[in-house]
Structures are given as C-alpha cells and as structure tokens.
C-alpha cells in the first residue's frame, strides 16, 4: 500500500505541474527514486536499472515506466491505474543493442508527446549521459530542457503527514545513536559496532519499523577523524581516541540524521575539548536565530558570528534540507546553508545542521535535525548535544 493517502499524492502532482508550467515544460521525465516515491508512493530496490515517471500537463495521472519484474511493485506501492503502469521486457536490461530509453521514447510518442518540451533531471544520480543520447536520437522532434531539482523543490516544505514520518524517524535516530554509544568501547571491533547500529536502524521502535538509510553508518575513529565520509573495518577501538558518528533514523525513507562524537577516555585533548565547546555553543546560538523569514545564507552568517571569537573555521556548508530519499544521499539537493543561498525558510521545511570540523589532529561532529515552525524551530528528536566521553 502507498505510504500516504491518494489525495496527498494528487496534491503533490498538482504542485509539480504548476512548477512545470512556470518553467515551460510540457512533460517531465522523473528518474530520481525519491521523486518517484514522493509523487506516487513507488518504492522498490529497482533503481539499479533504468526507470522513471512521466508527468504530463495534459494527463491527470503520472505514468510509471520500469522493468517488467518490478511492475507488480508499482501495483503494490502506488495508486496508479493499470494503464499507467508500463513495463519493459527484460532484454532491455544491460543490452548492447537496445536501451530502456527507447521504450520510454516509444511511450512518449504513443501519448502524442513526441514534439513537446520535455524536462529531464539532468543532474541526478540515476540519469546518465547515455539516457540523454538515446532519448535525443529517439525523439528528434522534441525539445529537451533541464528539469533538474524541479520535484525536489516541490518537496521542500513538508505536509503534516510527512512531519509525522520524520518524527518517527527521529525516534529511530535516537535508538541508533544510543546503540552506537552502548557498543563502541576500547577493544570492540568497528564492524561489530556497525552491526549494532544497523540493527537499531532496521528494527526501529516497538511501534514503527525502521528502514534502510540512504547513507550507511559513517564511523571514523583515530586518525580517520580528520575526514567525514569513511565507514567501518575490522579494526578495534583504542583508548584515548575519538569516534565520529553520522547516522540516521529512517521511516518509510524519511530521514532524521544524527551526528555525535565519542571520546574513549576520561579527558579529551585540549584541542578537541575547546572545539567541542565552541561548536556546541555556536550551534545552540545559531538555532536561536533560525525561524521563518530568514534566509539560508543568513543562518550560515549567524553561525559564523557565533564562533567568531574562536579559531574554529568551517569551510563547507553548515547544513541542508532533508526528507524522503534513497541511496546514495539523504540530502534533498535544494537548500544549502551557505553564502549565496537566498532561500527564505518557511514552516515545515526540515533542515540538517551539521557543523562538522575536521582537523589533521582531531575531528568533531555534532548536529541538529529540525523542523521550521510558525515562530522558530523544533528538533525532530531529543538527545543530548554534547561531546560524549567513556
């Protein structure tokens, strides 16, 4: 069954079409699985082969297009009519002589859209250069335009039902980080701690099942804390070293990221302690500033002012919007808290602020995953914002 009521999907499609009209797009080919899920509920581990949705201004319902063996998945997880579930034969998969975009082009021509302005998600993980080449050859009368992130921006303000899913994800996030804190200790293998975290992520709570996150647990220890995106090995944790964690709780593919730092010893080195104090205080001061009406770049500016008295410098963005997503990323590819992003924050936008600092000597990560409210912001979970020592 779809994750939301049929009328909610209809409203999402309606807003997508309004955005298409603003951009002069007649037909939009959606290839990102999060956008497919958002617009129809489609959910399957089928994004390793070519698939998509066609959204047309002159047709009420989207058209799902995918591999034949995945078509029943579309029937089970969407409310689409049978006529709008279109499946291609298996000999299109990884073929040297035909391509799934030929099938999609045939459906476009069948629908009378072959000479329309067709929007493509040109900068998504799942839309390849070959896709574009084959569509261009197969639809010589069409005009192709960039529809990248069109649906992503429609997604940016969440419905009340989505907010509830994110709160459930937040409860699972707390279980995941607590599993990490409970399992990580001197002599424990990194892979065993990763297994405990994954168990918490998947099992969820007594009320809600967890889901697979778009990013696997990021777990850096010792000298690896100088960088943010490493995973686990069979290495054992050692005394007097730091462990950086960036995890997420996930419910129905809605993500609530959570990041914390553990020090395996009673007394962190002075640089780590000082960095933790500056970053933790700076994050708290920044959150006091975050409210509807301020811009993304103003939030980042507030952060820089909050830490201006220190030597801490963060060159990367402070955060980004989050919501429903699939591997390899839980970010929505819309709002970025950095100079130049003039997006005005609105109620029910959901943001991940992660002022991670990575020095050669030591790293420190802590975060906040928040919903913009009518007057300010609220956390999607309750967990201490502090350096954890063991």
Is the predicted pLDDT of residue 1 greater than 90, yes or no?
A: no
Q: Are residues 164 and 150 in the same domain?
A: no
Q: Are residues 130 and 202 in the same domain?
A: no
Residue 1 resides in a domain:
no
Q: Answer with the one of 99, 130, 154 that is the final residue of a domain.
A: 154
Q: Are residues 125 and 175 in the same domain?
A: no
ω into 328 cis (within 30 of 0): yes
Residue 32 resides in a domain:
yes
CB atoms within 10 A of CB 89: 12
- For residue 119, the domain's CATH number is 3.40.350.10
Q: Are residues 138 and 181 in the same domain?
A: no
Q: Which residues contact 149 (CB under 8 A, 6 or more apart)?
A: 121, 123, 333, 334
Categorize the per-residue pLDDT at 223 as very low, low, confident or very high, splitting at 50, 70 and 90.
Answer: very high
Range of the domain at 33: 6-154
Q: Are residues 117 and 207 in the same domain?
A: no
The DSSP result for 21-49, as a single string, is HHHT-SEEEE--HHHHHHHH----S-TTS
Q: Answer with the one of 134, 154, 174 that is the final residue of a domain.
A: 154
Q: Are residues 91 and 166 in the same domain?
A: no
Q: Answer with the one of 116, 139, 154 that is the final residue of a domain.
A: 154
Residue 266 resides in a domain:
yes
Q: Are residues 41 and 190 in the same domain?
A: no
Q: Are residues 111 and 248 in the same domain?
A: no
| Structure token pair of residue 7 | 């009328």
CB atoms within 10 A of CB 382: 8
What pLDDT, in 10s, does the model give residues 315-341? 999 999 999 999 999 999 999 999 999
Q: Are residues 143 and 268 in the same domain?
A: no
Q: Are residues 105 and 166 in the same domain?
A: no
What pLDDT, in 10s, does the model give residues 89-143? 999 999 999 999 999 999 999 999 999 999 999 999 999 999 999 999 999 999 9
List the one residue out of 38, 36, 54, 31 whose CA is nearest residue 4: 38
Tokens 């009328």, residue located: 7
- Bridge-based pairing of strands 85-88 and 52-56 is unpaired
Domains in the chain, number: 2
Is the predicted pLDDT of residue 74 greater than 90, yes or no?
A: yes
Residue 87 resides in a domain:
yes
Q: Are residues 346 and 319 in the same domain?
A: yes
What pLDDT, in 10s, does the model give residues 4-41? 999 999 999 999 999 999 999 999 999 999 999 999 99
- For residue 201, the domain's CATH number is 3.90.230.10
Q: Are residues 115 and 204 in the same domain?
A: no
């Amino acid at each position: 069954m779809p994750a939301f009521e049929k009328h909610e999907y209809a409203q999402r499609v309606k807003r997508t079409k309004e955005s298409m009209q603003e951009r002069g797009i007649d037909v939009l080919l959606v290839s990102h699985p999060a956008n497919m899920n958002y617009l129809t509920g489609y959910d399957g581990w089928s994004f390793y082969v070519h698939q998509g949705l066609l959204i047309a201004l002159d047709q009420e319902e989207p058209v799902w297009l995918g591999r034949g063996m995945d078509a029943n998945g579309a029937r089970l997880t969407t409310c689409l009519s049978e006529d709008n579930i279109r499946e291609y034969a298996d000999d299109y998969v990884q073929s040297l002589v035909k391509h799934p975009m030929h099938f999609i082009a045939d459906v476009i021509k069948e629908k009378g859209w072959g000479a329309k302005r067709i929007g493509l998600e040109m900068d998504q993980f799942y839309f390849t250069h070959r896709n574009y080449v084959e569509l261009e050859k197969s639809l010589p009368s069409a005009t192709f335009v960039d529809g990248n992130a069109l649906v992503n921006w429609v997604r940016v303000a969440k419905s009340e039902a989505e907010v509830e899913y994110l709160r459930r994800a937040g409860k699972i996030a707390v279980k995941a980080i607590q599993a990490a804190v409970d399992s990580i200790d001197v002599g424990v293998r990194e892979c065993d701690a990763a297994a405990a975290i994954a168990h918490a992520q998947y099992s969820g709570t007594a009320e809600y099942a967890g889901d697979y996150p778009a990013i696997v647990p990021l777990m850096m220890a010792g000298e690896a804390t100088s960088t943010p995106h490493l995973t686990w090995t069979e290495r054992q944790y050692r005394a007097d070293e730091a462990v950086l964690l960036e995890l997420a709780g996930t419910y129905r593919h809605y993500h609530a990221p959570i990041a914390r730092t553990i020090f395996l010893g009673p007394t962190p080195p002075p640089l780590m302690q000082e960095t933790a104090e500056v970053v933790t205080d700076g994050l708290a001061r920044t959150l006091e500033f975050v409210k509807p009406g301020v811009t993304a770049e103003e939030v980042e500016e507030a952060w820089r002012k909050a830490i201006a008295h220190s030597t801490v410098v963060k060159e990367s963005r402070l955060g980004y919007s989050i919501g429903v997503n699939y591997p390899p990323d839980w970010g929505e590819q819309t709002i970025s808290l950095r100079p130049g992003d003039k997006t005005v924050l609105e109620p029910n936008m959901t943001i991940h602020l992660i002022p991670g600092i990575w020095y050669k000597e030591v790293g420190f990560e802590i975060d906040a995953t928040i919903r913009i409210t009518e007057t300010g912001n609220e956390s999607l979970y309750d967990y201490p914002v502090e350096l954890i020592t063991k």
